[in-house]
A and B are shown apart, each in its own frame.
Chain A
Amino acid sequence: MPEPALVLRGIRKAYPGVVAVDDAHLELYPGEIHALVGENGAGKSTLSAIAYGETRADAGTVRASGTVGLVHQHFELVGRLRVWENVLLGREPRRGWRIDEAAARSRVLAVAERNGLAIDPNAFVETLPIGVQQRVELLRELDREPAVLLLDEPTAALAPAEIASFFATVQGLAARGAAIMIVTHKLQEVIAYATRVSVMRHGRIVAQMETAATSVDEIARAMVGGELPSVAARAATQPTPCLSVRALRAGSGETSVEDIALDVRAGEIVGIAGVEGNGQTTLADAIAGMIPYDGTISFANEGAQIGVIPQDRHREALVMPWSIVENVMLGRQHRPELRRGATLDRAHARADAQRIQERFDVRAATLDVPVRTLSGGNQQKIVVGRALIDDPNVVLAYNPTRGIDVGAAALVQSRLMQARNDGAAVLLISFELDEILALADRIAVMYRGRIVGEFERTNVDRGAIGRLMAGLS
């Protein structure tokens, strides 16, 4: 066996109140693509930050045979600078006291060519699509010729076609001898592209497997430490008209939507598939009544209630310093059962919060702790629980399981399915095609602000959806 490129031995890291990483051992070998998976808060990010040298471990040793590179989940690019400026930021070749621009450009081109990445070094980063921006982020690390490359959720924002080309690049890197570790939630990609997988739970590495000899189910079971909660069954319903969108036009520029016609009937889930940034946010905001629009958005029954699960739970859904009880009141503060004259009925709100806690298995010491202190999964359970608690006619769910662990995600999906079974009209906007395929009765594909295709659950063609999402017809 060759020498490992990176060795982590007995790593431990504690923060006040939690042990993030506990006695973790990991070896990465040149030429392998190693996936690191685990639920939120299992310690993946802390472990990669320690491997990268960004965070110091309390105990244990890190030994690398060369440079270690890290590509963050959220790109750390300067949009108003050019590609070459971003790639070489802080390492610009100099001529006297000036930057040698010609040398910089050719250096970036050389790195790109060596790795089979097409790029225009003079383009401004903010004008590039997400997939290309990621290429820039990757080039910045590749320029340092890393022996070890850590990738944190690299495919979260990519379309299916972009994902395939991204992994082609990564496989090329591995073939030329780099050791690669991918932190990810997407277990299908683990099976398809990684060679080995390590599973973290509660700060420890609890399983390590060859991907050729394991399955998505086995990995998921190792992640949660038991059986996965299954998603509630789809019941037979008699869909009746509920939400109807006609000739909708809203927003401006890149994210505007145009000529949208969409029906969501009571008792069905309609999924909007599409890559991030193709107008989904504008569509959701128009239906939620947050932005002005042209065209019609109408509801079959007068005074229909709409339960919204916004896309950004920290900014749009929750007041982070507030307690669970207070957050459960937010947006419902004028409901007759919650008010007594000018004051709020806190006892009633507490009972509501308790109901949500029970239905969604919210793990919190008390209902009075600030939601800021809860894990992302528990926060999202509160957001979803609040959206569903008053039995709304329409549910607008925007990436309802983004960034939460598989257990919490299965629960959220189950509750959405139950709302549908109970006769709600559910509009599900998600960037995870798998989630849409699992839940939706009908699927509409959005591309550049328009609906470019519709599928019934009974005749779904995954390949066709992927091509429509990427703008191919």
Chain B
Amino acid sequence: MTNMRRTLAGPLGAVVLLVVLMSLAMIVAGTSPLDGFSALFYGALGGRSQIGETLVATSALLFPALGIALAFRGGLFNIGAEGQLLIGALFAGAVGAQLHVAGPLGIALLLVLGAIGGGLWGAIAGWMKARFNANEIIATLMLNFVAAYVSLALVSGPLKGPLATGAETAWLDQAYWLPTLLPGTRLSIGILLALAVAVVLWWLFSRTIFGFELRAAGDAPEAARRAGIDIGRITWLSLALSGAISGVGGATIVTGELHRFNTQLSPGYGFTAIAVALVGDLQPLWICLAAFGFGILEAGGLAMQASAQVPKDAIHVIEGLIILVLAARRYVAARAETTAV
């Protein structure tokens, strides 16, 4: 196969395969693919409020996806973005409910607290790995449960808002809400912050010494060690930074959309974001596009459930299929390469 054909056949083939698989999923769910797809796209992009919801989901996915990409590039499989996001949101929500600082400074403070919360959560796993060589996949995954139950315990008791009915903090003062970006929707300027983080990450990976050492540790750990790179430092630092980015994401959900912390604030963004990061090939700028694509699926999926009677779970089936198609593509590419040698 020529190079030209291979580069074209790859992504194109993946998209075609994906559409076929999605159609099958819709047929199994009892809807014609035509109705399903039109409901999906109308629900995601059919008007101002739909686009707003799609971008809200995009933003919520983009932060953890970028955090995950940072860890993955360093060779660390951080499966704990969900917990890191939640702790970041908890820090912001808990302090935000009590805060008495002038507006913009207060918002900045809450976002920084989000970064600290998520960063601490990531650093715990990083420290366990660097110090005891604990497997980071297990450590980050298990810390998700710790985060979920710790936050539930806290907002059911000491941090519970005085008027709250469920496990929630008190409302944030309106002074600490992130400004709305698209009037008439829930979309806050948090998404601009996410895009800025993407640009910073691109710069970090491609230009800085730290990014260079991080990539070396991820792509060839033994060569990196012999090049004088302190792998232990890279390990805890990259997991801390990774968690911090997810934590800021959690804080933007609190200050941007929900305006208080609630244990249900993430429908698994931190897990879906793993797929987003992989679809984006761990490249910050491609991840922005991938997050938008998954944002369409997340927001459109709800509409599809309402109007075309396709259960929203079908969307999660599709997200799973995307990972499978992707893995298959990589496998085929890797095989083509080894047989060529």
Contacts and interface: CB of A to CB of B under 8 A. Distances in A.
Is B a genuine binding partner of A?
Answer: yes
Given A16-B1, A16-B340, A343 B227 contact: no
Nearest to B218: A319
A322 B219 contact: yes
Contacts of B212: 326, 329, 333, 344
Given A290-B226, A344-B209, A319 B219 contact: yes
A344 B216 CA distance: 14
A105 interface: no
A319 B213 CA distance: 11
B209 A330 contact: no
A95 interface: no
A17 B2 CA distance: 9
Given A16-B1, A290-B225, A310-B226, A315 B220 contact: yes
B15 interface: no
Interface in A297-337: 308, 310, 315-322, 326, 329-331, 333-334
B226 A343 contact: no
Contacts of B47: none
Nearest to A312: B222
A333 B219 contact: no
Contacts of B226: 288, 290, 308, 310, 316-317, 331
A308 B225 CA distance: 13
A10 B340 CA distance: 21
Interface residues of A, number: 26
Interface string B206-247: 011110110110011011111110000000000000000000
Given A16-B340, A17-B340, A319-B216, A333 B209 contact: yes
A316 B223 contact: yes
A160 to B, nearest CB: 31
A344 B207 contact: yes
Interface in B91-140: none
Contacts of B1: 16
B234 to A, nearest CB: 13
B340 A315 contact: no
Interface residues of B, number: 22
Contacts of B227: 330-331, 333
Contacts of B219: 319-322
B220 A333 contact: no
Nearest to B203: A343
A236 interface: no
Contact of B208 (A15, A316, A331, A344): A344
A329 B212 CA distance: 9
Interface in A5-25: 15-17
Given A315-B223, A317-B223, A333-B227, A342 B210 contact: yes
A344 B340 CA distance: 34
B9 to A, nearest CB: 14
B230 to A, nearest CB: 11
A343 B340 contact: no
A72 interface: no
A186 interface: no
A330 B223 contact: yes
27 contacts: A15-B341, A16-B336, A16-B340, A17-B340, A290-B225, A290-B226, A308-B226, A315-B220, A315-B222, A316-B223, A316-B226, A317-B223, A317-B226, A318-B220, A319-B224, A320-B219, A320-B220, A321-B219, A322-B219, A326-B212, A330-B224, A330-B227, A331-B226, A342-B208, A342-B209, A343-B208, A343-B209
Given A16-B340, A334-B228, 5 more contacts: A320-B220, A321-B219, A322-B219, A343-B207, A344-B207
Interface of B: 1, 207-210, 212-213, 215-216, 219-220, 222-228, 336, 339-341
